[in-house]
């Protein structure tokens, strides 16, 4: 999908939010994933943001059906039983690596489960049950293009103690943009990086252990470089 206008982008963001609420519960989580994570399924093509579904429809259908059936057939399932059922499945590796696409669990938790399956299974059941009672609130144009977006994103990062991906600035997707890139998209990127830079300076940033693998100075340097890229782009885009 190629995002040619802001409404199309907003509709997509709302779909992601509803489908994978546990991973993308707010605006900041969606924009951070789109703009600051490597291998996220997004790229710049001829100046426009493009998304590609990395999983086949057949695989999507299989995984969703399998997990839903296991949990629906066993409403009081224990961690141990869940592990046994999943582990006995011949396509266990595929399930393990793809559950995050359905909002059951974060990719990081999936990888960590290779070392701690009990914790992983508990997380899957917890998130599945949570989906039944979540009341989804979709985003509007006023939400993502408000003057207060930076402050809103900063507060969301603080509230959830977000882990910031230590992406080298040389891989920033907006390095590939030019004057043909829509200004609304560049503005969203500027707000996102600005919020990250403020978040890095907060006390909450270091509370997430994932943010301690690299020194704070690394994040400041790389995200400042991204910020400067966006500022230069903003002067030329339409």
Residue 156 predicted with pLDDT over 60: yes
- Of 154, 67, 139, 148, the C-alpha closest to 102 is 67
Please report the DSSP string for 185-202 in residue order: HHHHHHHHHHHHHHHHTS
Question: What does the domain layout of the chain look like in residue ranges?
Answer: 6-54+146-234, 57-131
Q: Could you tell me the pLDDT band of residue 119, with boundaries at 50, 70 and 90?
A: low
What was the pLDDT predicted at 30?
93
Residue 148: both structure tokens together: 């207060």
pLDDT tens-digit map of 210-222? 898 899 999 999 9
Contact 44, 173 (CB under 8 A): yes
Residue 12 predicted with pLDDT over 60: yes
- Tell me how far apart the alpha carbons of residues 179 and 237 are, in angstroms, rounded to a whole number: 4
Q: Could you tell me the pLDDT band of residue 23, with boundaries at 50, 70 and 90?
A: confident
- Tell me how far apart the alpha carbons of residues 47 and 174 are, in angstroms, rounded to a whole number: 9
What was the pLDDT predicted at 113?
42
Contact 177, 186 (CB under 8 A): yes
23-37, 81-95, 168-182: which range is least confident on average?
Answer: 81-95
What was the pLDDT predicted at 165?
92
Mean pLDDT (the chain, rounded)? 78
Contact 62, 97 (CB under 8 A): no
What was the pLDDT predicted at 190?
96
> How far is C-alpha 167 from the chain's CA centre?
14
What was the pLDDT predicted at 232?
93
Residue 33 predicted with pLDDT over 80: yes
What was the pLDDT predicted at 1?
84
51-55, 103-107, 143-147, 198-202: which range is least confident on average?
Answer: 103-107
H or E element in which residue 81 lies: helix 79-88
What was the pLDDT predicted at 53?
55
pTM (predicted TM-score): 0.69
What was the pLDDT predicted at 90?
45
What was the pLDDT predicted at 102?
44
pLDDT tens-digit map of 162-199? 899 999 999 999 998 988 999 999 999 999 999 999 99
Residue 64 predicted with pLDDT over 70: no
């Amino acid at each position: 999908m190629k995002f040619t206008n802001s409404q199309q982008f907003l509709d997509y963001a709302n779909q992601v939010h509803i489908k994978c609420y546990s991973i993308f519960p707010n605006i900041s989580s969606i924009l951070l994933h789109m703009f600051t994570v490597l291998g996220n399924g997004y790229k710049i093509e001829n100046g426009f943001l493009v998304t590609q579904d990395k999983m086949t429809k057949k695989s999507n259908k299989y995984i969703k059906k399998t997990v839903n059936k296991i949990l629906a057939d066993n409403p009081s399932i224990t961690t141990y039983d869940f592990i046994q059922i999943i582990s006995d499945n011949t396509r266990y590796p595929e399930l393990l690596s793809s559950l995050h696409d359905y909002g059951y669990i974060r990719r990081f938790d999936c990888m960590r489960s290779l070392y701690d399956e009990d914790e992983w299974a508990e997380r899957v059941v917890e998130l599945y049950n949570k989906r039944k009672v979540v009341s989804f609130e979709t985003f509007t144009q006023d939400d993502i293009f408000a003057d207060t977006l930076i402050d809103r994103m900063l507060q969301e990062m603080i509230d959830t103690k977000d882990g910031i991906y230590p992406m080298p600035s040389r891989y920033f997707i907006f390095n590939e943009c030019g004057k043909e890139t829509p200004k609304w998209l560049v503005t969203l990127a500027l707000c996102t990086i600005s919020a990250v830079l403020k978040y890095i300076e907060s006390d909450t940033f270091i509370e997430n252990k994932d943010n301690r693998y690299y020194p704070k100075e690394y994040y400041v340097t790389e995200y400042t470089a991204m910020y400067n890229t966006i500022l230069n782009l903003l002067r030329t885009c339409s």
